[in-house]
Amino acid sequence: MNVREALQQRKSVRAYLNKAVETEKINNILAAASHAPSGVNTQPWQVAVVSGGKKQQLQQQLETAFRDGVKAKADYRYYPLQWEEPYKSRRIACGVQMYSALEIERSNKQRQLDQWAANFRAFDAPVMLLFFMHAGMQTGSYMDYGMFIQSVMLAAVEEGLATCPQASLSDYPELIKTALDYPQESILICGMALGYEEKDAPVNSYRTPRENVASFTRYFL
C-alpha cells in the first residue's frame, strides 16, 4: 500500500467488530506515527490507549455525563462560534449523510441523541485513543499534533484497522484526566476510536465528498 492509497482508503468509521486489537499493531501504528514532524522536534504527543475494563468504566462515565446534561467544557475551542459559508453547508451535509445512512429522521430526537451518545463510547470500538499535550505548549504544537494524528490514522489503514478521530472525546477533560491520572493542567486534544470495521454497518456505507484541487488552490508564477 502506498501513501495515496492509504489517504483514499481512510475514512471515519462509526461501527466496529467486537474483536480485540493486538497490542503489537497498536505499537506499530504509534511507532510509525512518531516520525511525524514537529517544530524543533518537540514531539508534543502523549497518548493514552484505553481498552478492556478501563474503557468500559470511562465510557460509562462519559456517556452518563452527556445524558445527564453536564455542560461540555473542552480545553480549547475546536469549532467556530458562528458558522460561515462554505463551512456551514459542509457541516450540515455531513450530518445529513450520516443520519440518512442510519435512517434517522430529523423529528426523531431520541435516536439522534442516542447516536450522539455513541461518540462517548468511541462507537463501541475496542480501543479508545486519547491525545494529551503539556499545558505549556502553544499553537504550533496543535499543528504538529494534527500531523501526528493523521499519521496514526494512515498507519492504522496499513495495519488493516479503522479509525474515527473524535473532538467529542475532549468534551469532558476533567473527568478523563481524573480517571486516567493525567495532570489537570494538561491539554486534552481529542480522542480516536480504533478497531476493525464492521463493513456491513449502514453508518459505514457513505463517504463524505472532497472539493477538487482547483477550488482551494491558487498558483502564482
Instruction: For residue 71, tell me if it sits in a domain.
Output: yes
| Predicted TM-score of the model (pTM) | 0.95
Q: Angle CA(102)–CA(126)–CA(144) in degrees, nearest 5?
A: 90
Instruction: For residue 69, tell me if it sits in a domain.
Output: yes
Instruction: For residue 220, tell me if it sits in a domain.
Output: no
Instruction: For residue 132, tell me if it sits in a domain.
Output: no
Strand ranges for the chain from DSSP E: 46-51, 127-133, 162-166, 187-195
More reliable by pLDDT, 194 or 106? 194
Report pLDDT digits (tens) over 119-168.
999 999 999 999 999 999 999 999 999 999 999 999 999 999 999 999 99
CB atoms within 10 A of CB 202: 14
Instruction: For residue 189, tell me if it sits in a domain.
Output: yes
Q: Which three cell numbers stand for residue 85?
A: 459559508
CA distances from 66 to 59, 61, 153, 164 (A): 10, 9, 26, 19
Q: Which domain holds residue 64?
A: 3-51+58-123+139-208
pLDDT at 19 over 90: yes
Instruction: For residue 108, tell me if it sits in a domain.
Output: yes
Q: Which three cell numbers stand for residue 63?
A: 456517556
For residues 124 and 115, give the distance between their C-alpha atoms in angstroms, rounded to a whole number.
Answer: 12
The domain spanning residue 166 has which CATH number?
3.40.109.10
Instruction: For residue 215, tell me if it sits in a domain.
Output: no
For residues 44 and 139, give the distance between their C-alpha atoms in angstroms, rounded to a whole number.
Answer: 11
Domain count, the chain: 1
**Identity at 183, one-letter amino acid code:** P
Report pLDDT digits (tens) over 35-68.
999 999 999 999 999 999 999 999 999 999 999 9
Instruction: For residue 130, tell me if it sits in a domain.
Output: no
Q: Is 96 exposed, middle or buried (0-12, 13-18, 19+ CB in 10 A)?
A: exposed
pLDDT at 1 over 90: no
